[in-house]
Amino acid sequence: MSVTPTVQDRPELRKVIQGPLGLTDTLVPDTRTEVPEPHAHACYRYEEDGERKTVDVTRQNPSWISTGGDMISTTRDLHTFVSALLGGRLLPAPLLAEMCEPHPKAGYCLGVFVQPGPDGKGTVITHNGGIAGGHAALLYSTPDGSTTLTAALNWVDDAGLSLGVPFQQATQRLVEEVFGDGRAAG
């Protein structure tokens, strides 16, 4: 999907990040409900009168969640962004170091999580995101941005969490495959 920036896009975001990094497939949808083609469809599952129903929620106004989930991107653009961010192309070194310094009780930093790599070797920087029902993204990287794992998810909201454990196990296997065997730098 190639996105032509519109009046509703953020000019400073386009000038400082999107333009210099060539993020042509990333946009801020604001209150628009249209998703540029091609795209996956998002689903939401609920129960009504004892009957399980699934509806397409691809078209939604993401502004209700403010900045959480308020961008549309591709995995290629996510990879480019996180590689540039952690590779020092977007922030001065002291600010990047501060951004990646975890709060001792939460493991959360200024916009990212820092976690031990597989088998406790190295460090993995992560920030996953999504919007209630439908679309989500996974983003993992080495602290220097040289190795990344990005994924786009099309998922069904699962109130019973029957998919929670298998999803976490599959994600952990992916992280181990990409960052395991001492590959996670740190």
- Which pLDDT tens digit goes with each residue over 79-123? 999 999 999 999 999 999 988 888 777 666 777 888 888 888 888
Q: 3-class SS at 114?
A: strand
Instruction: Write the CB contacts of 148 (distance below 8 Å, at least 6 apart in sequence).
Output: 78, 79, 82, 83, 139, 140, 141, 142
157 confidence band (pLDDT: 50, 70, 90): low
Domain residue ranges of the chain, discontinuous segments joined by +: 74-179
| Residues 79-114 as b or e (16 or more Cβ within 10 Å = b) | bbbbbbbbeeebeeeeebeebbebeeeeeebeebbb
Give the closest residue to 110 by CA, choosing from 80, 85, 79.
Answer: 85
The average pLDDT across 145-162 equals 76
pLDDT by residue (tens digit) across 130-147?
766 667 788 999 999 999
Residue 91 pLDDT: 92
- State residue 5's pLDDT score: 41
Cα(61)–Cα(177) distance, rounded to whole angstroms?
Answer: 36
SS3 assignment for 47-71: EECCEEEEEECCCCCHHHHCCCCCC
